[in-house]
Each structure stands twice: as C-alpha cells, then as structure tokens.
Amino acid sequence: MPTMTRDLLDSIAKRRSELLSLAGRFGRKDVPYADIRVEAVDAKSAYAENGMPKEAGSRRHLSVGIRVLAEAGGMRSPGYWGAILGPEEGACIGRRAAEGLAIAAERARHNAKAKAASRKRFPELGASMTSAEFAPAEACRDTVPARYKIDPVTVSEGTVAARAAEATKLALSVDKKISYAHQHLLTFRNRRLFVSSEGADLDQSFAVTQASTAAVARGKDGIQIIGDAIGHQRGWEMLDEGVTDDPLMPIPTLDSFVRNIAKEAAELSDCPQCPGSGGKETVLVTDPHYNTLLVHEIVGHPSELDRALKMETGYAGRSWFLQDAKRSQLGLQIASSKVSAYSDPTLPGLGHYKYDDEGTRARRVWIIKNGVLNELMSGRQTAAALGLRSNGSYFVTSGAMVGIIRMNNTVFAGGGDDPGKLISEVDKGYYLVGHKTPSIAESRENFRITARKVYEIKNGRLGRLYRNGGMMAASKSYLMSVDGVGSDFRMITISTCGKGLPMQLKRMANGGPTMRGRGILTGAD
Amino acid sequence: MKTTSQLKAFCEKALDIARSGKGVLEAEVYASDNAYRVARLCYSSHIPCNGLEEPKSVDFGGYSVRVVLAGLKGKRVGVAYESGFDLSAVAEVVGRAASNAVEDAEFSRLPRSEWGPSAVAGPSKSYAPISEAELVASGWRVVDAVLKRLTGSKDLARTAAGRRDGWASLGAIVSGDISVRHDRMALASTAFAKAVTDESFNCRAIATVMIEALDAKGSGFEVTDDISSVGTLAGTQAAANALASARGEEIPSDRYPVVLGRFAVKDLMENLVLPSVDTTAFYAGISAFMGKAGKAVAVPSLNIYDDSSGGRFAYKAGLTDEGLPVGRTDLVKNGVLTGLLASDYETRRLLASPKSKEKLGLDPEKFRQGLVPRNGFRVGDMGRRCYDSLPCPMPTNTVVEGSPDSRTSDLLKKIGNGVYIGRLWYTYAVNGLPAGDFSSTVVADSHIVKNGRIVKALKPNSVRVNDNIKTILANIAAFGRKASPVQGWYTGFVLYTPDIAVRSMRLDRVCAGMSE
C-alpha cells in the first residue's frame, strides 16, 4: 500500500535525532567509536517468462546496522551487529539500535582481548595485529533526496507484472528462433540514515529502476543465450522513456533494449563459432560495452583497497596492484600513456552517491592517470592502514550489512581517437562487441572475457561475424598494449556484482570508450 | 529467534485470515526466522590488521502469503512478502498478495503431498543460540591454529631468519570465516492437513592461508554442528597445505592428465554440472545436457546424487520449503542422467509442457521418477530458507562417487606425469552452459606430478584451465577413496567428493601476481 510505505520511509527520518543522541553516548575510552545505519526500503518487482507473468511481489522492510570500536587489553577492535526488521518496528528502532550497540560492543571487547592475547602468544607473527584505527573524516550533515518522476512507491505490482510479461512477448515476437525469454523488473526507493559518535548525520534517498532480460535462440548450429540489464537511479518512467538527459549514461527504452537482445541472440545462433587465434596475440578492438566488464574486472576490483590489503584473500581475491605497504605498482606505469581510469560516484548513474556509507563525501578517484597507477579506492579503516584519508568508497547493499570497499561509477576515461579509425587502421584483427562472461585470475592479473559478437577485421573493414569468442590476456600487458582510445565514452549498467559475506550484490555503472590493444582471441574449447 | 512452535502458531493464525479472503481458493503462509553469525578472518603479517575483522550478525525474519484465486482463463496466483511477525498486518498482506495475483498458465496448484510419504512432524533437533564470546573465540581458534603451525615450521623459521624484516616479511595471510547459519521455518497451507515446521543449522569454517614470499597457498575446511570446537582443524589443514605448496614452479601450456582435489571438483560442480541438472535449466533450454535425460553424460563409473534429508550429511532438513518430503535424488547414475533438482512448480510445468520431450530427450512421464521435487527451497537475498522468495530447486548435500575407488597415491600413479589441481577459482561457462566451455584459474593446493608422485608445488595463479565440462566428464579415469565435505565462499550446499583423476585437461600458462 503506497501510503503505508511512504509512511515507512518517512518514519525513519523522525528517528534521526534519537539515533544521533544514541550514537553520541559513545566516543568514550572503552568504546571510542560507534555508528548506526538505518535503512527503509520499498521495492516492487516482477518476473515473467515466455509471455506469462510468473510473479509480482513487493518487499518492505527496515534494516539496522551497528559498528563499534571497543578497547580492551590495550587493543581496539571492531564489532558489528545487524538486523532486518518488520515495518511495525519503525517506532522502536531506537530500542533495537541500542540493543545492537550493546551486542556489537561486547563482540568488539572479546575481539580486542583475543587480539591482545594472540599478539602476545605469537611474538614472531603477532606484531602486525595492531589497534584498529579509522582515518580522520569530517562529520558531515546533510539530506539528499532521490531523483524520480514516477515514484517507485506508487507503482502497483500489477503494472510491473504486466510490463514484464509484455517484454517477454516482444522478445518472442522478434524472431522464430527465440525459444525462451525471461524478464525481471525491479523498481524501488530507499532511505538511508547514518549517524556516528563523531556527529555525522546523513539522510540519503535513492530511487532505482532496473530491467534484466535474457533471450535464448535455437539456430542451425546450437543454442545462443544473450542476457543483459539496463538500470539507472531513476523512477519507473525509465522503462518507457529511457534516459536521454544523461549524456554519459544514455539508457534505451525497455522495448528497444529487449528487441535488440532478442535480435542479437537470433542472429548469433546461426553464426559460426569463433576460431580463436591459436594462442597467438592479435590486434583486438573492443567496444564500450565490452570495456565495461573489462574495466570492472581488471581495474575496478584490484583498486578496491580492502582486496589490495589482503582482506578478501579467501573470497574475491587480492590485487596485483599492491604487494604490501612498501611495495606496490602505485606511481608506476601499468598501462600505455593513452589509458586513464577513474571511479566517480558524483557522476549520475547506478553507482551514484553523495556520501558513502560511513559518511565520507564522495569524490572522483583517479585510479590510472596517463598509464600510471595513481590511487586506490578506500574507506576510513583501509585508508588508515596506509596513513591516508578515505576517498569515500565504503558501501553496504543493505542497512544490516558491514561495509566493504566497492567500485561505483568506475570507467576507462574517454580519449581523443575516432572510434571508426581504430578499426579502419587495422589490417588484420578482430572487433569485440559487447561483454558476456568473465573468468578472472585471483589477483586480477590475467583474464578471459567472452564477447557477445566478434567481427573479423580485414584491411580496415569489418568482415565475418562469429559467436563464442573473446579475449585472454595478462592485464598489464594488455593495458600496456593499448594504442588507441576512442572519443565515444559511455557508461553502461552492471546489474549485479558480488562481494563480502554474507554476499552483497551491488549495482553499479562501468564503462569506457572504444579501445584498441593486443590479446589472444579465444574461441570455442 | 522465534521458536518453531511460535512460527507454527503464527502461520496457522495467518492462514485462517488468508483462506477467508474474498475469492481465495487456496492459501499458503510460510514463515522463517533466521540468524546468521560470521566471524571473518583477516590476518596479514606484513600489513596492519585486526586478525579477526568482522564478528557480526544479521538476524532476519518474516513471512510470505501465497493465494490462489479464480481468473478469467484459469487460476491466478499472488504472493506478498512481509518482514516481521505482526499478526495485525496479515489481512493487509493477504490483500496485497491478492492484488499481486497473476494469471500464470503454468501454475496448477499449491504444493501438496503426493510425491511420497507425508512430511515429517517437525525438526529432529533444536539448536541453542550462540554467545558473543563463542562467536569471537571460534574465529580466533582458526587464526591461532594457523599461526601455531606456521611458527612451528623449521623451513619458515630458516627463511624468516634470512630476511631483513624477519617473519613479518613472509607475507603470511589468513583469510576466510566461521559461518553459523541457523534457520527455523513453518508452513501452513490449505493443501496440508497440519502446519509443518523445520529447523536447520550449518556451522562451517573456511580458511585460506598464504605465504606470499614463497608463493604458497593452502585451503582448509570444516563442517560441524558444534561451534565450541570448530576452527582448529580448518586452520591447521590450511596452514599445512600452504606450507606444502611453497616455492611452486610454473608449467608450460599443454594438455595434462590431472587429479582434481575436492575444492576443484566443487567449482566444476557448483558452476557447471549442478546448474545443468536442474529442472529450471531444462525448461529454459540452457542446460549443458539438453536432450540427454536417460542418456550417458559421463563415464559409466560416475554417480552424483543430492540428499536433502541430511542423514549423515551436514545440511539437515526435515522437509523442503514447500513442505514436501526430502530425500535422495540420483542425478547421474552409472554415467546416465537419471534425475534433476526439482521443485513442485518446476516439475509440474516440465511434465505438462508440450516441448518437454524435446528438451529432456524422452517422454517426461518416463522420467517422472527423476523429477520428484525434493529440492524446493526458498533462497532470498540472505540465503536459504528465507521468507522473501518463492521456492526454487537448490542442491543441499551433493555427493559425487565413483567406482572402483583408489587411494590418492594410486590416482597419481594412474596419471603418471601431470598435475594435481587442489583448488579452482572463478569457474564460468564462458560460452554459455549449453556449449559446456569453461575457464578457471588454478589458485591453490596444487602440485606437479612426475612418475606418479608429487614432486613440486605448482605456483598458485600461474595456470588457467580452458576446457569443456562435457569432455571432462567423459574423460574421468578414476576416483579417490575418501569423499570429504567442502563448501564454497557463499554457497548454501555442501559437496561430498573424492579426488578425481581426469585423462586430459587443457592448462594455459598465465602470468601470476606481479611477476610480469
């Protein structure tokens, strides 16, 4: 019910001063830091297959997350607590946060004591276990509204379900070879409060609409599956209007997007398998959509400082950018001088925010500047480990979760080359269009990423179209080989990226221009 | 956490409200209360750290209401989800479910007990909550076990003594977690005579240990239902495996005979095989085994089954999240595709679909025993047994077996000159599941085999596998004797597998770390 939900989102704002005063009780010797995050969400979603609506659902909840630093045994350590609550608990959110603060503090105290004991027990290897510190940060106070024309809260589930079913009907109608199509639609609005014992007091709202489409085509030579997503921080209107007023991240209408996916699946299902380059390097021109996943995997992830500091070793992996605090690629040439890359949450798009989830004001992080590794994405704790200040990259996907370092709008910067010329200058090579599936090395030092389409380039012209091809390369040697960067920069939706435990699935925008470099062309195995 | 009795009482009362809704033909209320505790390991000898980074919890609970109404052409089905357990809100949630109802031509009715014996009356065991001290202590047991094993190594002590910054400069890392998942559920449905309840508990330790200066990486795993002892075994095992993999060498690109360790088999099963033996994949036409029901998909000695009933296995469930009986489903028997992971809805629509014969490769009625819905679980944003999703087929305890079985040393003899691959990472079907092509990196616990013996460690991350899962399954040469449990970073199911020898696998040398 829209009215109730609006109340849910509004109700948590009324608790802002109560929560601020609760956090303000800390900042004392035994618990020197505490923060509280509260989120209210109203989401509508629908799923359809082959023209049939399958599910229309709505989800409304509150979530609370607590982080404290506590001191015991001469050490400071962190402790956390989180819960997802029913809407009826909005009135007692302060009480639940107080309970959470007590539990998180108890965990942090046990943790600090155990750290002190372990450090003493293992003099050889214990010295690196130090008191937890956060880099200093300004305590920001602000209210940031969401941007939308049609409020997701007011959209009925029936409308969402009907739209999803229509989209799959449209996909099936594009070509007889389409044997299956599915459509997932999601539109939501949320409101996030963040308060800390240092006086941070933030209230940020977001509206997001997203569509994920897949089409399966059965051609003469097998089955071809094409799936992709569009999404932006906009209201329900995005599906019918697309996004035309954001030059960096234009989004087509849902119908146009679905039609293209189905058309491509049908076209590729009759194409030959990509032969590959027999393990030899060749010239590869990659389009902005392919580079969206490339920058995500070989620049975005390794520049997340928690990975670089080995905190993700057992999960998402480490980073080839950093060996330890003294030895790293920072300040070194890791790409050709034509390559620059940055992460910028202040830009519009799915990765946009004004403040990160520990209250640090967002700013552009130049990861690679003219081929030199320049800066990694950080939060207050990870920045402190290197004696730096946070650059505002600490993010949670739910109020109840623990923040981790995440890329946001992370891209290869546009260059000055004519994208058409990047192809016409090639005597023999391949043009990789659209990203499909990645398989990336643990420290992101090499990769194999398949493309949706591979065109042969012969004497500067596009030739035969292949399916099931892609690029395999060492990340650094590919980046160093780039000799052309196009002027056709754009950002593209990455609908889901998993990290952390419990797994946090984040939406973001990645992108770049057309680029030309060298790698091994892969084909069918 | 709510008790199962409280959840049951809530579901019964909510069902009374739901079934009396206007035009409601059938109704179902599913409630779950879930507690997730994690102690995340985060030690590094060369970078300031906390040792244990995230002692944390996420608690969540709520319910879903599903209603079936009369439609213009057939039935309409609607669902609504609500966090918390506010009985006064149920009527509104039922109204929302009714207004969300869609005319899904493939929906026939709510799940009911027609597939086997009635659902069990309740959970077999009740589990106590975990104290804050226990949670923190479990994580530190792993860290301490690793540090004890590493500092006890004479090799490491010698290496550290020869380095300017001593032990710290070895680049020792401990990563992973202790995760404790405690789920309680209840389900009341107009299709069942009585409300049913269940309770599941999964406590596991995953440890990864690295010694970066020696290019060493090892893994450890432990699964139990006792948090008071978990951790030491996983930590010790990971440290020992890291030490055994020190100073690894690289190998040239080629095809090699390999022995796959349990973490490697897990990656292949999780990302390639299990998604392909799933009713959903067959319906959509995206399995690697389209048209292969009742036909050979692997060597005749391979058996794969999923046992959702728990028994001697780690993941214990008394019934599915559809309220249906759990049990064993033979997925691959003697190399033949004999069953699929199924939920009630997916089975019904596959049996009814006019295209099923083409998709399965035989008359679906002849494959009915392979489609019994024993794996319908609700997997939401926070994992399994969550109120905020509809049931879908999910593996639980998956067992890989083969015959005849041999000791690992005999497997190595069998391959002669090749590679022992202990752990794979980021395994994806790069050209889509139907093609079967995959790519993956060899990240840890791996060794070079010469004349049937391990002679050297293989440098972690220096080799990428580029091959095809259908080819691999057809080229299994032998199976190890002991099936050990293993679980992934975020996966809900537990795999029991022995080491497996494969005649040939394509390995491509790639640059590792910052070496190039």
Q: Are A313 and A194 in contact (CB under 8 A)?
A: no
Average pLDDT estimate for B499-510: 96
Q: Kindly tell me if the per-residue pLDDT of B242 is higher than 80.
A: yes
Q: What is the pLDDT of residues B150-209, one digit of tens each?
A: 999 999 999 999 998 899 999 999 999 999 999 999 999 999 999 999 998 889 999 999
Nearest CA in chain A to B441: A441
Four-residue CA torsion sign, B306, B311, B314, B318? positive
Helices (H), B211-321: 232-244, 262-268, 279-284
Q: Kindly tell me if the per-residue pLDDT of B482 is higher than 50.
A: yes
Which residues does chain A have within 8 Å of residue B513's beta carbon, measured at their own beta carbons? 320, 443, 445
A266 inside domain = no
Please give, rounded to a whole number of angstroms, the shortest distance from the CA of B41 to a CA of chain A. Answer: 8
Q: Which of A143, A171, A196 is the last residue of a domain?
A: A143
What is residue B225's predicted lDDT score, i.e. its pLDDT?
81
Residue type (1 letter), B436 = G
Q: Per DSSP, what are the bridge partners of residue A261? A: none
pTM for the full model?
0.96
Local structure of B378: helix, strand or coil: strand
Query: Do residue B84 and residue A87 have CB atoms under 8 angstroms apart?
Result: yes
CA-closest candidate to residue B259, choices B423, B393, B431, B394:
B423
CATH topology of domain B4-244: PmbA/TldD fold (3.30.2290)
Query: Do residue A324 and residue B171 have CB atoms under 8 angstroms apart?
Result: yes
Of B79, B175, B253, the CB nearest to A314: B175
A426 half-sphere exposure, CB direction, 13 A CA radius = 27
A248 inside domain = no
Residue type (1 letter), A15 = R
A373 inside domain = yes
Q: What CA–CA distance (Å, rounded) separates A136 from A86?
A: 35
**What burial letters (b/e) apply to B191-216, b meaning 16+ CB within 10 Å?**
bbeebbbbbbbbbbbbbbbbbbbbbb
Q: What CA–CA distance (Å, rounded) separates B82 from B91?
A: 12
Q: Which of A313, A440, A497 to mutate to test the interface with B (most CBs of B within 10 A)?
A: A313
Q: Are B512 and B245 in contact (CB under 8 A)?
A: no
CA angle B124, B129, B131 (to 5 degrees): 150
- Residue A183 touches partner B, C-beta closer than 8 Å: no
> Which helix (DSSP H) or strand (DSSP E) does residue B350 occupy?
helix B344-352
Provide the residue range defining the domain that includes A76.
2-44+55-143
Please give, rounded to a whole number of angstroms, the shortest distance from the CA of A418 to a CA of chain B. Answer: 31
- Residue A444 touches partner B, C-beta closer than 8 Å: no
DSSP character string of A28-85: SSSS-EEEEEEEEEEEEEEEEETTEEEEEEEEEEEEEEEEEEEEETTEEEEEEEEEEE
Structure tokens at B314: 């780690």
Please give, rounded to a whole number of angstroms, the shortest distance from the CA of A393 to a CA of chain B. Answer: 18
Q: Which of A96, A120, A143 is the last residue of a domain?
A: A143
CA-closest candidate to residue A90, choices A173, A21, A239, A193:
A193
Q: Kindly tell me if the per-residue pLDDT of B121 is higher than 50.
A: no
Q: What CA–CA distance (Å, rounded) separates B153 from B159?
A: 10
Q: Would you tell me which residues 336-375 of chain A have a C-beta closer than 8 angstroms to some C-beta of chain B?
A: none
Query: Do residue B150 and residue A125 have CB atoms under 8 angstroms apart?
Result: yes
Q: Would you tell me which residues 60-79 of chain B have a C-beta closer than 8 angstroms to some C-beta of chain A?
A: 60-62, 78-79
Query: Do residue B464 and residue A505 have CB atoms under 8 angstroms apart?
Result: no
N-to-C CA span, chain B: 52
Query: Do residue B175 and residue A127 have CB atoms under 8 angstroms apart?
Result: no
What is residue B34's predicted lDDT score, i.e. its pLDDT?
95
- Residue B212 touches partner A, C-beta closer than 8 Å: yes
CA-closest candidate to residue A412, choices A341, A486, A479:
A341
Which residues does chain A have within 8 Å of residue B49's beta carbon, measured at their own beta carbons? 128-130, 309, 311, 385
Which residues does chain A have within 8 Å of residue B62's beta carbon, measured at their own beta carbons? 61, 84, 86
What is residue A3's predicted lDDT score, i.e. its pLDDT?
46
Phi, psi for residue B445 in degrees, rounded to 5:
55, 30
SS3 sequence, B174-215? EEEEEEEEEEEEEEEECCCCCCEEEEEEEEEEEEEEEEHHHC
Please give, rounded to a whole number of angstroms, the shortest distance from the CA of B57 to a CA of chain A. Answer: 5
What is residue B468's predicted lDDT score, i.e. its pLDDT?
98
Nearest CA in chain A to B433: A225
Total tally of structural domains belonging to chain A: 2
Query: Do residue A83 and residue B60 have CB atoms under 8 angstroms apart?
Result: yes
CA angle A29, A35, A41 (to 5 degrees): 165
Local structure of A489: helix, strand or coil: coil
- The model's confidence at residue B124, banded by pLDDT at 50, 70 and 90, is low
Average pLDDT estimate for B283-304: 97
Per 3-state DSSP, chain A is made up of helix, strand and coil in percentages (nearest 5) of: 25, 40, 35
Of B45, B84, B437, the CB nearest to A125: B45
Q: Which of A45, A92, A107, A301 to mutate to test the interface with B (most CBs of B within 10 A)?
A: A107
Phi, psi for residue B299 in degrees, rounded to 5:
-60, 150
A265 inside domain = no
Query: Do residue A61 and residue B83 have CB atoms under 8 angstroms apart?
Result: yes
Of A107, A402, A524, the CB nearest to B431: A524
What is residue B278's DSSP assignment? B
CA-closest candidate to residue A115, choices A73, A55, A148:
A73
- Residue A278 touches partner B, C-beta closer than 8 Å: no
Q: Would you tell me which residues 396-435 of chain B have a C-beta closer than 8 angstroms to some C-beta of chain A?
A: 425-435
Q: What CA–CA distance (Å, rounded) separates B1 from A420?
A: 62
A319 inside domain = yes
**Total CB pairs under 8 A between chain A and B:** 337
Which residues does chain B have within 8 Å of residue A80's beta carbon, measured at their own beta carbons? 54-57
> Which helix (DSSP H) or strand (DSSP E) does residue A297 occupy?
none
- Residue B42 touches partner A, C-beta closer than 8 Å: yes
CA-closest candidate to residue B212, choices A447, A309, A246:
A309
**ipTM entry:** 0.96
Four-residue CA torsion sign, B425, B426, B427, B430? negative
A137 inside domain = yes
Structure tokens at B283: 């319906």
What is residue B202's predicted lDDT score, i.e. its pLDDT?
87
Q: What is the pLDDT of residues B335-382, one digit of tens each?
A: 999 999 999 999 999 999 999 999 999 999 999 999 999 999 999 877
Average pLDDT estimate for B437-455: 97
Of A60, A107, A126, the CB nearest to B135: A107
Please give, rounded to a whole number of angstroms, the shortest distance from the CA of A332 to a CA of chain B. Answer: 12
Q: Which of A143, A175, A198 is the last residue of a domain?
A: A143
- Residue A291 touches partner B, C-beta closer than 8 Å: no
Q: What CA–CA distance (Å, rounded) separates B34 from B383?
A: 10
CA-closest candidate to residue B52, choices B129, B133, B134, B137:
B137
Of A55, A129, A445, the CB nearest to B49: A129
CA-closest candidate to residue B159, choices A119, A324, A125:
A125
Question: Which residues in chain A show pLDDT less than 70?
Answer: 1-6
Q: What CA–CA distance (Å, rounded) separates B342 from B393?
A: 5
Q: Are A62 and A93 in contact (CB under 8 A)?
A: yes
Enumerate the domain spans of chain B: 4-244, 254-509
- Residue A62 touches partner B, C-beta closer than 8 Å: yes
- Residue B210 touches partner A, C-beta closer than 8 Å: yes
Nearest CA in chain A to B425: A442
Query: Do residue A314 and residue B467 have CB atoms under 8 angstroms apart?
Result: no
Q: What CA–CA distance (Å, rounded) separates A101 from A26?
A: 10
- Residue A197 touches partner B, C-beta closer than 8 Å: no
Q: Are B435 and B290 in contact (CB under 8 A)?
A: no
CA-closest candidate to residue A470, choices A437, A495, A427, A493:
A437
- The model's confidence at residue B119, banded by pLDDT at 50, 70 and 90, is very low
Query: Do residue A125 and residue B147 have CB atoms under 8 angstroms apart?
Result: yes
Which residues does chain A have within 8 Å of residue B354's beta carbon, measured at their own beta carbons? none
What is residue B33's DSSP assignment? E
Cis check: omega of the bond before A252, within 30 degrees of 0: no
